[in-house]
Structure 1
Amino acid sequence: MEEASESELGPATLLVGGEGQDSPRRSKSLLAVLLLFSFSSQFLPIEPYLVPYLISDKHFSNLQVTVDIYPCSIYAQLFFTFLMPAACLYLSHKVVIFLGSLGTVATYIIAWSGSSLFSMQVMQVTYGFGMSTRLVFSSYVFHLVSEEEYQTMISLTTATSLLSFMIASELGQLLVLKEVSYHVFFAISLAFLGLCTFSSVLLPKDDGLTSMGVSACFKGKGWIKLLRETCRGRTLKVLSLWSALAYAGFSLVQNYGTNLFDAIDSNSKLNGHVLAASQAAGSLGSFVALYFDRISSKGRIKILIYIVGSALMSIFCVYMAASHKIWMAYLLYIIISGIYQALACFISVQCGKLLRNGQFILLFSLCNVLGLLLETLLQAAVEIAGLPVSAQFLCFSGFFFMATAIFVGFLLFGGQESQSTF
């Protein structure tokens, strides 16, 4: 990565990596705030039970939730993700993260108080906005730390957020078994989202572009040049394409997992345990990513890890679609979560290390926009076809299959020089 001057780094980076005896203390304080934000943003006991809540309390059918409500978040997220690089350049990462926290708060307030189909669709739009700002947080972390700390920081914050969701899911499961009102679920979720919003205010400020920088980048030629610089390198392009395909596949699996569970066994009330276990598997996968570099010193071995992981996710999606046993669907859902988080954490850091111009938010947005576009196209296709949720999972497996095929092709035809850059 090219060395940046002090004036280019900005106050957030200087806070973490700057010289001086206060630097270690400031670094620990920053890590504490990042972990607090990661934990509070995902402590949502209502999330595993949002589909049952919409069906039982709001009186929507499973088909309405699957076809009329949930797709709105996918379309909204595609739109907002496309705007994220410009928003970060004009406003700063911190401001966008704060606005995203408010958007998530609005999501659960609307879900709690709204009753019409339109209000639930608006709720999904605000949810899509909140989701689109998560990639801003990842980009923000890359800006804050040195290249040597990428993997550790990304793994720690990801593992913390997944661990938080796991604990919240277990709490939700306990509340369900005690037949506690869903109003309590929402109250707890909103309390932690309030803490999340407060912690986002404590994050160190990063600078947006200067007026000269904004003028240069937002001209047509400036943007084209910036995109070319950001996407330079064959290996970076391959890893980014995997990120887009796997993101699309996993997002759909995650979005419609509870719908599949309900279709297989509408009487099952173990969603909280299952989503908690999936987050625990994801958290474990995030820690496993820390050791991938140690066991894969050669590029060929790394590619084999990508191939095996992607192929397993594709196969497991097929088994989920064909299975009529709820326990099998639960188990495969959990395993897919662990595999995806391990690979996603590892590959995002590899992309960060290969990036030469420091435009992390632009790179992550490009990957997410492509992933969301693929997700949206498939979502629209299955809506038009009116496929049941089990058939949809067969379609979802196709994304992981394509990701596998890309790395198989790269392994066979990429050449030794390209493989050595992994």
Structure 2
Amino acid sequence: MERFYAWFHSLLVQNSSISTSLLLILLLYSFSSQFLPIEPYLVPYLTSVKHFSNFQVTVDIYPYSVYSQLIFTLLMAPAGFYLSHKMIVALGAFGMLITYLIIWVGHSILAMQIMQITYGFGMASRLIFSAYIFLLVPEEEYQTMTSLTTTTSLLSFMLASELGQLLALEKVSFAVFFILTFISLGVCFSMTLLLPKDHSSILMYPSVTTFWSETEGWIRILKETWHGRNLRILSLWWALAYASFSLVQNYGTNLFDAIDPDSKFNGHVLAASQAAGSLGSFCAIYLEDFAIKSGMLIYVLGSAVMGVVCVFMGVSLNIWAAYLMFVMVSGIYQTLACLVSVRCGRLLSNKQFILLFSVNNFAGLLLETLLQATVELSGLSIFVQFITFSGFFFLATAIFLGLCIIDISRKRSSSALESKPEPLISEPLDL
């Protein structure tokens, strides 16, 4: 067994200071938290087995997860501040386990609404895990562990989707789907209990008792967290890209259905997009140096490409082209998302990672919710919607391109001042 651990550790992280046991716990948590074969088939289960109408699922049940996740995401920062990260990660894993148990045994609309609230809490608690990694490993390992855990999560979701597809084709009972999901979430919860102990951030800031105080309180912490200009800029890109990509993911199958209602490959395409995302997040390990040297340029190019791809998805009527572009967006976004989260973590001076992750993701979720509501109220076709989604990518491109130009101009100005010869001083001597 020791030889296996050594081989496993050297295979994934060479010359790393991370212990093999910690690495296994983090990766097992990442894998088991996303290995949910029942997830792609929740709507068919709720309509065919629980006998809810599609309208009830869409209007009376699913919106609760959107709003609860938005609220819980914002509350994750103070929760992580006053409680331990390990406790919140464990509660989140337990909340996901309760979520699918309620789906299995619940029969009323109220039960399903409660289920969506626990689901929102479980999804929001994963932010704690993403931030917790930065506290567990040295700074030089941020990119490696972020990329590895993200890659593992995406691959797990892909494998679970393909397994679910196979079970569905074989017409296996939904009970099997749930049993596999419960086993995976049980492993996930067990891994949280093995995580190292940590202490609440209140020990670092014992004077935090109010919100509005400029000298002691949350306002001071917020100012300390987003102190640097580059951190604020990258956080803006984080929120804009998160909102745009989430909308592309949410409405991808709607677009496929509008282009070709008879297509049977949607499930495989979603799995392929997860595979592309996992490949991109893993490649981020090797792109980190280039991203640092290029500064804002890599985010300018990435946003521009994703914006162009969204436009093509909105105007293309070829299903295979839509499939390819959907997979492409996933790969590009996951690469840049891994890079930007680590870069922001390195720029953070007060180590309040959970506050950074919570607020940035809350901003992205809020933008996503507002844009989604606007699109739904406007009654735009799915094709025009994708062209609209590209607007956020192009907005991020324009902002970063403008900042790049400003930075280049400042560097040239400072270089010109430094190279300008100093004037001779000809003052009369005081005899």
What residue in structure 2 maps to residue 129 of structure 1?
A: 121
The equivalences for 1:56-135 within 5 A come to 56-58=48-50, 65-66=57-58, 68-135=60-127
Q: 1:311 aligns with which of 280, 284, 304?
A: 304
The equivalences for 1:242-391 within 5 A come to 242-296=237-291, 298=293, 301-391=294-384
The secondary structure found in structure 2 opposite 1:220 is coil
Give the whole-Å Cα distance in 2 for the aligned partners of 1:170 and 1:372: 28
Does the CA contact (< 8 Å) of 1:45 and 1:171 recur in 2?
A: yes
Give the whole-Å Cα distance in 1 for the aligned partners of 2:125 and 2:77: 10
What residue in structure 2 maps to residue 165 of structure 1?
A: 157
Does the CA contact (< 8 Å) of 1:322 and 1:390 recur in 2?
A: yes
> Gapped runs of 5+ residues in structure 1?
1-23
* Cα shift at 1:396: 2.4
* Cα shift at 1:60: 5.6
* Cα shift at 1:308: 1.8
Does the CA contact (< 8 Å) of 2:244 and 2:390 recur in 1?
A: yes
Aligned residues: 394
Does the CA contact (< 8 Å) of 1:74 and 1:375 recur in 2?
A: no
Return 387-396 or 189-198, whichever deviates more.
387-396
What residue in structure 2 maps to residue 394 of structure 1?
A: 387
Change (3 A) 1:309 1:211: closer
* Cα shift at 1:259: 3.9
Does the CA contact (< 8 Å) of 1:106 and 1:126 recur in 2?
A: yes
The secondary structure found in structure 1 opposite 2:208 is helix
What residue in structure 2 maps to residue 151 of structure 1?
A: 143
The secondary structure found in structure 1 opposite 2:102 is helix
Give the whole-Å Cα distance in 2 for the aligned partners of 1:320 and 1:344: 21
* Cα shift at 1:59: 5.5
Does the CA contact (< 8 Å) of 2:291 and 2:339 recur in 1?
A: no
Per-residue CA distance 1:29-51 (angstroms, 9 max, x = gap): 11110011001001012223334
* Cα shift at 1:370: 0.9
Give the whole-Å Cα distance in 2 for the aligned partners of 1:291 and 1:112: 43
What value does the CA root-mean-square deviation take over the aligned residues? 2.6
What residue in structure 2 maps to residue 411 of structure 1?
A: 404
Per-residue CA distance 1:290-314 (angstroms, 9 max, x = gap): 122333463xx34222122112222
> Gapped runs of 5+ residues in structure 2?
1-15, 413-431
- Are 2:180 and 1:188 equivalent residues in the alignment? yes
Change (3 A) 1:394 1:167: same
Q: 1:238 aligns with which of 216, 233, 241?
A: 233
TM-score (structure 2 length as normaliser)? 0.83
Give the whole-Å Cα distance in 1 for the aligned partners of 2:241 and 2:232: 14
Give the whole-Å Cα distance in 1 for the aligned partners of 2:266 and 2:180: 18
The secondary structure found in structure 1 opposite 2:349 is coil
Give the whole-Å Cα distance in 1 for the aligned partners of 2:380 and 2:48: 23
Structure of higher CA gyration radius: 2
Does the CA contact (< 8 Å) of 2:202 and 2:208 recur in 1?
A: no
Q: 1:207 aligns with which of 199, 203, 206?
A: 199
Return the structure number with greater relative CO, CA threshold 8 A, min gap 6.
1
